[in-house]
């Protein structure tokens, strides 16, 4: 009789447990007055990660548009006769010797007077690196197309000239610019490559109550005469690196507090992710929460970069 | 016997009424020689309201095209190097400091010589309001992008200069234009906003035998450097208000009579709408005309603005 | 017995007739050795009319392209700053007073020097008709948009100046061009219309072994300020009339013979159409050829203009 | 008994043969340890011919792009006011006499200074051939469009002037350029044709480790006034011939060896094609390989031009 009753009791308890197991949070609350704090934690975590993603996307969009507008501005500043839209995969093309010389010296002059021309917050890089002009050409050769005769040395040579920011004006610069380097022999010229590094500061982020970013633009203008078809294609390429500004003082700003808020918020995100992780691990161990397990995996993937950005 | 007959008579009358109730106008006319004047009134009202709508649409179309053509003309007058079509959501863009200064002074000069340049019937507004140039910039700061250093005061300041129509030429104007206000420091400049109010008169309505309208154009040209990307976007915005001309004398015109005709016509519309309203209210009270009730509601919605315009 | 046989014979004849009636031309030929010359006539007629249509189309295409190219050439000659493509339904637009004066005097100067500028075979018309400049404006008025005041006489007046080809240069012309006529008061100006007639000769038809055509171009340039919106729309309209050249001598040419051939060919077309007409009328009378009747109708419609052109 | 057995044996052999005949290469190898060298040969041949086709396509693509870029460069060099894109089937159009003269002399001047203008490796052809300017016009004539009168000699005459490379500057050239030849009478002018031959060398092939090609460009610029509509259409036509460079010395190059490799490779292709040919002929004779027969036909069609190119 006792055993029977004990068995009944056990069966009842199991039934109860099973019933409870398949209840939704509302029913659980009604059954045992148990607050569904695990669910609340999950929802909180999703909300926090989503918020972080949105912030991340917005600040990223600023960065992308800043880079694109800078590239367009560089093309207008340094490419002579740039129409505003690229031809094919190159930006513009040159058909006469005079235009070729003009375009090259246009780049140099615009670079020299950059401070007085550019609207952006641009500056030269270190004193060492400056404007580097390299011409690549066949070593020597004579070509007389009229007689179908051609003497050419296939091996190429590359000559370079470096104009440091310090030397942009004055005697030394003039000497360099008047040197024989700029007597281009187009029949053996392969390409002229002008490269320079500029530094810029994006202030727009301040409006978004974030710290300003410092940028380094590695610009390369290539006059490509590889085809020797009478058409030099001009390529413009701008590689942008984001760097931390070394030395900044921002007055009257809520940036400091704001970054503290962001840090605190990031801390909460990490905490809630950790709590979720522990709960889910426990659930997996108890073999009762595969769905949450998947979510755990997904969350750790998504939440990580966001948390990292917060620093 | 009597009661029976009386009941029969009542039944007959009810039958007759019901029959009559469901008759269409033609049958009604054939049955009782009753002229369907209520229907005629409804048709008349619909015709009159439609006519009014067509007149309203035509005169509105004139207004819209006048506004649009004026905006295009303003863009050609005040934006230097405007190509005729807008880029993206802004009208044109500037890439060099010289172009920025040129564009700003171009607006000022065009405004000063407006009378000798513009083809439209434009005039300055009151003597008090004139050309207002405001520049918004960060309070103070130094930026050395080369060293990644940045000292900036995030709070912004807004400086303004006002050029009154009286002072457009002469010593005072020159002093203002040569002031340090126009030494723009692009690295901390956020935007320059030039705003001015012009008044114009649309004569085209006279051809449509209507009274001329006086317009007030509130033009705002914004040089947006918010992104500090080396590209200043130029926005042109023109807000147009229609005002009644205060003091007009129009000779040899049929406008007076015409407006009288329109007033008479509007009177008839109001009368027919009122009659329709009374008839329908009666029908609703007699609970026999839900369709007309709906029409009443619709008519009052549509007919009202038209009647108002008539004045 | 006799009657029976007679009846049989009649039946046989009818059967034979019916059978023949429904035969195709090949079977008819095999049955009675009858040559289908009616069919041949129809085919011949169709071929001849088609040939005529093709010739007609080709010579017409020359005329259309000549007119179009002339219109494009006129626009480039007489419209200052014409871009090569029309804006909307007008050719170009003007936004400043200076441009308006320049555009008007540009037309006059181009007209005066037409012989030294134009590439086409153009000439002025009679000595009487010349360049006619008409300005339409409100009779009198003052407008002060600043004060919202407007005094205007709605009735319009039209002033005209005529520059005869003889007077294009010299004192009289200068007097006319310096007259107060050209002090445009834009606030009351409605439109300026410049019209002139030019004559031209299309030589290209000579290559097609046809006689050259003489053309009269009635050109009208309208500066439309009707909207008073600050934008003058410039319309160019060219009406072209083909006229017979009065006095032509063409040497070393096969044109004479060629036109004779065409006349002979046209004669044959008319003859074959006539024969077809007679045959079909006969068929219709005999009530046996409704299809041919339709064709007759169609042919007379199509063949007529072609035959007429032959002269 | 013996016969029976013999018959059985024969049947067995036939069965075996048939079985073997329908085996795939793997089964054949397993059955008789026979290496499928015929299959290997076919696969080898397909690989080699494909390789040849790819090389052929790549070198052809270089040739085509070189020709196209040269044509574009010529249009920019020789057509005054060329916009970069062709109108319709002609490159640009002229509307005034001044523009016509300017465009013609522009071609002559650009040709004279070609060495100092062009970016390509271009040279004049032999000393004999030079710049040939031909004008075709009606023999004589007077046209007075004003009076609709026209005297014209339909027979055309063609006058030519030849500017040899030697005479481009100096007294003789000036005399020629100032001669009455350049007094164009546009009313009887049909067309002006300027033709010249230029020689060029394509160096880009050197990068592909091939021998450079010498090109002869036969350029023809036609000013077409055939329509006499006031619009001269300018056509540019460039016929390109590839010629072997007569006299070339290329230093520091692997070209020599490379061509030897290509010759050896071509030899192998020819050998494998021949072997395949013989095998397939044998198969066709034995009536057992229609598929291979088709392939043989296909291969000989495709393989031939590739082998030829190899030289």
What is residue B225's DSSP assignment?
Answer: -
Asked whether residue C54 carries a pLDDT value surpassing 60, the answer given is: yes
Instruction: Classify residue D59: in a domain, yes or no.
Output: no
Q: What value, to the nearest 5°, has the Cα angle with vertex D90 and ends D86 and D94?
A: 95
> How many separate helices (H) and strands (E) can be counted in chain D?
9, 10
Same domain? For A28 and A143 the reply is no
Asked whether residue C18 carries a pLDDT value surpassing 80, the answer given is: no
- Residue-wise pLDDT for C232-270, tens only, equals 999 999 999 888 787 777 776 655 556 677 788 888 888
- How far is D176 from D170, CA to CA, in rounded Å? 10
Instruction: Classify residue A187: in a domain, yes or no.
Output: yes
Looking at residue B31, its pLDDT comes to: 74
Q: What percent of chain C has pLDDT over 90?
A: 26
Looking at residue D288, its pLDDT comes to: 46
Same domain? For A264 and A222 the reply is no
Residue D261 neighbours by CB under 8 Å, 6+ apart = none
CB contact under 8 A, B123 and C146: yes
- Residue-wise pLDDT for D209-238, tens only, equals 667 788 899 999 999 998 889 999 999 999
Asked whether residue C21 carries a pLDDT value surpassing 80, the answer given is: no
Residues 156-195, chain D: which have Cβ within 8 Å of A? none
**Which of B139, B146, B227 lies closest to A66 in CB terms?**
B227
Q: Give all chains having 3 or more CB-to-CB distances under 8 Å with chain B.
A: A, C
**Which of D97, D147, D151 lies closest to C117 in CB terms?**
D97
Check if A1 contacts D (Cβ < 8 Å). no
Instruction: Classify residue B72: in a domain, yes or no.
Output: no
Residue D172 neighbours by CB under 8 Å, 6+ apart = none
Single residue among D217, D236, D253 that ends a domain in this structure:
D253
Looking at residue A288, its pLDDT comes to: 46
Q: What value, to the nearest 5°, has the Cα angle with vertex B285 and ends B279 and B286?
A: 90
Looking at residue D220, its pLDDT comes to: 95
Q: Which of C120-134, D148-162, D275-289, D290-304 has the lowest average pLDDT? A: D290-304
Q: What does the radius of gyration of chain D's CA atoms come to, in whole angstroms?
A: 33
Same domain? For D102 and D176 the reply is yes
Instruction: Classify residue A232: in a domain, yes or no.
Output: yes
- How far is B33 from B25, CA to CA, in rounded Å? 10
Q: What percent of chain D has pLDDT over 70?
A: 85
Looking at residue B231, its pLDDT comes to: 93
Same domain? For C119 and C211 the reply is yes
Contact C219, C198 (CB under 8 A): yes
Looking at residue D244, its pLDDT comes to: 79
Closest-CA distance, D75 to chain C, in angstroms, reads 20
Same domain? For A174 and A274 the reply is no
Instruction: Classify residue C306: in a domain, yes or no.
Output: no
Q: Which of A241-255, A259-273, B76-90, D260-274 has the lowest average pLDDT? A: A241-255
Choose the most confident range, by mean pLDDT, from B191-200, C39-48, C116-125: B191-200
- Residue-wise pLDDT for B173-188, tens only, equals 788 888 888 989 898 8
Backbone angles phi, psi at B77, to 5 degrees: -75, -40
Pairing label, strands C149-153, C122-124: unpaired
Q: Any idea which residue has 């009542």 for tokens?
A: B10
Q: Give all chains having 3 or more CB-to-CB distances under 8 Å with chain D.
A: A, C
Backbone angles phi, psi at A147, to 5 degrees: -100, 10
Do B and D touch (≥3 CB pairs < 8 Å)?
Answer: no
Give the HSE-up count for residue A238: Cα atoms under 13 Å, Cβ half-sphere. Answer: 21
Looking at residue B311, its pLDDT comes to: 33
| Chain B interface, best mutation among C150, C187, C226, by max B CB count within 10 A | C150
Closest-CA distance, C148 to chain B, in angstroms, reads 5
Looking at residue C98, its pLDDT comes to: 94
Average pLDDT over residues B22-31: 72
| Average pLDDT value for chain C | 81
- How far is C93 from C96, CA to CA, in rounded Å? 10
Residue ranges making up the domain that contains A167: 85-253
Residues in chain B within 8 Å Cβ distance of C153: 250-252
- Residue-wise pLDDT for A190-220, tens only, equals 999 999 999 888 887 776 666 778 889 999 9
Looking at residue A192, its pLDDT comes to: 95
Instruction: Classify residue B54: in a domain, yes or no.
Output: no
Residues 55-84, chain A: which have Cβ within 8 Å of B? 65-66, 69-70, 72-74, 76-77
- Higher-confidence residue: A98 or B20? A98
| Average pLDDT value for chain B | 81
Whole-Å CA distances, A261 to B26, C90, D20: 81, 61, 83
| Chain C interface, best mutation among D94, D230, D231, by max C CB count within 10 A | D230
**Tokens standing for residue B284:** 């609703």
- Residue-wise pLDDT for D15-41, tens only, equals 777 676 667 767 777 777 777 788 888
Same domain? For B139 and B180 the reply is yes
CA closest to D137 among chain C residues:
C203
| Chain C interface, best mutation among B75, B201, B203, by max C CB count within 10 A | B203
Count how many domains chain C has: 2
Average pLDDT over residues C76-94: 91
CB contact under 8 A, D204 and A148: no
Same domain? For D16 and D111 the reply is no
**Tokens standing for residue A152:** 């050419």
Contact D73, A95 (CB under 8 A): yes
Looking at residue B310, its pLDDT comes to: 37
Same domain? For B10 and B152 the reply is no
Closest-CA distance, B300 to chain C, in angstroms, reads 34
Looking at residue C235, its pLDDT comes to: 96
Looking at residue B1, its pLDDT comes to: 56
| Average pLDDT value for chain A | 81
The complex's ipTM works out to: 0.71
Same domain? For A192 and A138 the reply is yes
Asked whether residue A124 carries a pLDDT value surpassing 60, the answer given is: yes
CB contact under 8 A, A202 and B228: yes
pLDDT band at A6 (very low <50, low <70, confident <90, very high): confident
Same domain? For A174 and A237 the reply is yes
Whole-Å CA distances, A13 to A17, A31, A33: 6, 14, 18
Q: What percent of chain B has pLDDT over 90?
A: 26
Asked whether residue A108 carries a pLDDT value surpassing 80, the answer given is: yes
Asked whether residue A302 carries a pLDDT value surpassing 60, the answer given is: no
Instruction: Classify residue B165: in a domain, yes or no.
Output: yes
pLDDT band at C310 (very low <50, low <70, confident <90, very high): very low
- Residue-wise pLDDT for D89-143, tens only, equals 899 999 999 999 999 999 999 998 888 899 988 888 776 688 899 999 988 777 7
Residues 24-43, chain B: which have Cβ within 8 Å of A? none
Same domain? For A197 and A283 the reply is no
Instruction: Classify residue C156: in a domain, yes or no.
Output: yes
Asked whether residue A147 carries a pLDDT value surpassing 80, the answer given is: no
Check if A211 contacts B (Cβ < 8 Å). no
Check if A11 contacts B (Cβ < 8 Å). no
pLDDT band at B266 (very low <50, low <70, confident <90, very high): confident
- Higher-confidence residue: D14 or D304? D14
Q: Tell me the count of A-B CB pairs closer than 8 A.
A: 122
Asked whether residue A161 carries a pLDDT value surpassing 50, the answer given is: yes
Asked whether residue C44 carries a pLDDT value surpassing 80, the answer given is: yes
Same domain? For C156 and C277 the reply is no
Check if B118 contacts C (Cβ < 8 Å). yes
Residue C38 neighbours by CB under 8 Å, 6+ apart = C279
Asked whether residue B248 carries a pLDDT value surpassing 60, the answer given is: yes
CB contact under 8 A, A248 and B144: no
Check if D251 contacts A (Cβ < 8 Å). yes
**Which of D123, D125, D203 lies closest to A228 in CB terms?**
D203
- How far is A293 from C27, CA to CA, in rounded Å? 92
- Residue-wise pLDDT for A218-273, tens only, equals 999 999 998 889 999 999 999 998 887 877 777 766 555 566 777 888 888 888 88
Where are any strands of DSSP class E within chain B? 92-94, 122-124, 131-138, 141-144, 149-153, 156-163, 189-202, 213-224, 232-243, 247-251
**Tokens standing for residue D110:** 């650009």
Looking at residue C289, its pLDDT comes to: 44
Where are any strands of DSSP class E within chain C? 92-94, 122-124, 131-138, 141-144, 149-153, 156-163, 189-202, 213-224, 232-243, 247-251
Asked whether residue D263 carries a pLDDT value surpassing 80, the answer given is: yes
| Chain A interface, best mutation among B137, B150, B156, B190, by max A CB count within 10 A | B150
Check if B257 contacts C (Cβ < 8 Å). no
pLDDT band at A136 (very low <50, low <70, confident <90, very high): very high
């Amino acid at each position: 009789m006792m055993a029977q009753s004990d068995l009944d009791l056990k069966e009842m308890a199991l039934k109860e447990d099973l019933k409870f197991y398949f209840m939704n949070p509302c029913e659980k609350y009604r059954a045992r007055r148990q607050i569904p704090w695990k669910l609340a934690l999950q929802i909180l975590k999703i909300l926090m990660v989503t918020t972080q993603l949105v912030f991340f996307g917005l600040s990223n969009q600023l960065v992308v548009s800043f880079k694109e507008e800078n590239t367009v501005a560089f093309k207008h500043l340094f490419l002579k006769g740039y129409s505003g839209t690229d031809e094919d995969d190159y930006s513009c093309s040159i058909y006469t010797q005079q235009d070729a010389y003009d375009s090259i010296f246009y780049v140099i002059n615009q670079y020299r007077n950059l401070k007085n021309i550019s609207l952006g917050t641009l500056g030269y890089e270190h004193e060492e690196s400056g404007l580097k002009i390299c011409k690549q050409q066949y070593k020597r050769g004579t070509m007389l197309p009229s007689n179908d005769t051609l003497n050419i040395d296939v091996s190429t040579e590359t000559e370079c000239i470096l104009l440091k920011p310090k030397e942009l004006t004055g005697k030394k610069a003039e000497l360099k610019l008047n040197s024989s380097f700029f007597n281009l022999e187009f029949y053996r010229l392969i390409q002229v490559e002008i490269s320079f590094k500029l530094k810029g500061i994006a202030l727009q982020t301040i409006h978004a109550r974030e710290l300003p970013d410092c940028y380094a633009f590695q610009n390369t203008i290539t006059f490509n005469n590889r085809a020797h078809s009478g058409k030099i294609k001009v390529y413009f390429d701008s590689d942008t690196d984001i760097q931390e500004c070394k030395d900044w003082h921002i007055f009257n700003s809520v940036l400091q507090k704001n970054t503290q808020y962001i840090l605190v918020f990031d801390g909460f995100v990490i905490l809630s992710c950790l709590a979720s992780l522990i709960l889910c691990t426990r659930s997996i161990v108890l073999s009762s929460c595969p769905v949450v397990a998947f979510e755990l995996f997904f969350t750790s993937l998504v939440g990580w970069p966001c948390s990292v950005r917060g620093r």
